[in-house]
Structure 1
Amino acid sequence: MDRRTFLAALGTGATAALAGCGTSLADSDYDVEMTANRFRPAEITVSVGETVTWGNPGSRGHSVTAYGGQIPEDADYWASGGLGSESDARARYPQEGHVASGETYSHTFEVAGDHEYFCIPHERGGMVGTVVVEE
C-alpha cells in the first residue's frame, strides 16, 4: 500500500470513528439549549403550569440554578439536582446539579412572574436566563 492510499484510508476511518461522538440529544428534546456559555434563548415565556426543559447537546457540563432572591415570592426554589436553595446548589455543585453532555433538566412553573436563573460554572461568563411565567 502506498503512502497516499494509507493516509486516505486512515482519514476515512477517523471520520467514521468521530461520527458517533456527538450527543443523541435532538433540538426537539428541549426548550432551552445550553451552549458553551449561553442559554439559548436567554428568555422564554410560558404559562403557569407549563414545563420548561433545558438540554445540553454540547461537551461542557452545566447547571440550571435559580437565583433565590430573583424568583417570585410564592415560588418554590428550583435548580437542577433538586436542591432547596441557591447556597446549597452552589456548595454542592458539581456533585449535585450537574447537567452533563446529552442530558436534560425540566421544571414545571406554578407561579407567575419572572424567574431569573444561571449556570454555576459559567455565571461569570454571562450564562444567565429568565423564564417569564404568565397567567
Structure 2
Amino acid sequence: MNRRAFLAGVAGSASAALAGCTGILNTGSDAPDGDIGMGSVSFNPKEFEVEVGETVVWVNTDMRNHSVTAYEAGIPEGAEYFASGGFESEQAARDAWRNGNGTINPNTTYEHTFEVPGEYAYFCIPHESGGMSGTIVVTE
C-alpha cells in the first residue's frame, strides 16, 4: 500500500470522528490527494518525513484559506526556498498575503519537491499566531 492511500484511509477515519469540531470541509472521495492536511490552525501531521527528491503535497481540507510558507532561517543551507504562491523569500510571501496572494483555497493543494536533506520549518501566514506550523524532515 502506498503512503498516500494509507494516509487517505487514516485521515478519512479521523476526519469522520472529528468533522463536527475541526471545521473540516471535505475529506471524501472527491477531496484532493495529499500528504499533509490543513485544519483550522494545524498541519496534520505536524511533522512529516520524506527522502531526498520526494514531493510533499499539502491539501486544504479546511473551510478557511491557508498558506504554506517556509521560515527562511528554518531551512537547510543551499535548499530552495518554498512558499505557496511561488515567492522567493519569507518577506515577499508575507507581503503578498496582505494583498491576497499565496492562498491555498479550500479543496486545493500545494506541492514542493525537497532536494536537500535536513529539517524544514514552515507555517501558515494567517494562522501563525495560533501555532499553525510544521516540519518536513528530509533524509538521504
TM-score w.r.t. structure 1 length?
A: 0.80
Mapping of residues 82-93 of structure 1, within 5 Å:
82-93=86-97
Establish whether residue 117 from structure 1 lines up as the match of residue 122 from structure 2: yes
Aligned residue type for 2:97: Y
SS at match of 2:126: helix
Is 1:37 aligned with 2:41? yes
SS at match of 2:67: coil
- Identity over the aligned pairs, expressed in percent? 52
For structure 2, the 5+ residue unaligned runs are 1-24
- How big is the shift at 1:96? 1.8
Counterpart of 1:10 in structure 2 is none
| Equivalent-residue separation in structure 1 for 2:79 and 2:111 (angstroms) | 16
The CA deviation at 1:66 is 0.1
> How many Å separate the matches in 1 of 2:101 and 2:138?
26
Which residue in 1 is equivalent to 2:113? 108
CA offset at residue 58 of structure 1? 1.4
1:9-48 matches, cutoff 5 A: 22-23=25-26, 24-26=30-32, 29-48=33-52
Distance (whole Å) between structure 1 residues aligned to residue 133 and residue 76 of structure 2: 17
AA at the equivalent of 1:80: S
Residue 57 of structure 1: CA displacement? 1.2
Larger radius of gyration: 1
Aligned positions, number: 112
Instruction: Decide which of 47, 51, 56 is 1:52's aligned counterpart.
Output: 56
Query: What are the superposed Cα offsets for residues 83-129 of structure 1, whole Å, 9 maximum, x if unpaired?
Result: 00000000001522100001000000000000000000000000000
Q: Residue in 2 aligned with 1:78?
A: 82
TM-score using structure 2 length: 0.77
Residue from 130, 135, 139 that aligns with 1:134: 139
| Mapped partners of 1:101, 1:91: distance in 2 | 21
- CA distance in 2 between counterparts of 1:75 and 1:97 reads 20
The CA distance in 2 between the partners of 1:100 and 1:132, in whole Å, is 25
What letter is aligned with 2:76? P
* Structure 1 vs Structure 2 CA RMSD: 1.1
Q: How far apart are the structure 1 equivalents of 2:102 and 2:119?
A: 22
In structure 1, runs of 5+ residues without a counterpart are: 1-21
Q: Deviations over 1:8-46 (max 9, x none)?
A: xxxxxxxxxxxxxx54415xx000000000000000000
Could you say what secondary structure the match of 2:129 adopts? coil
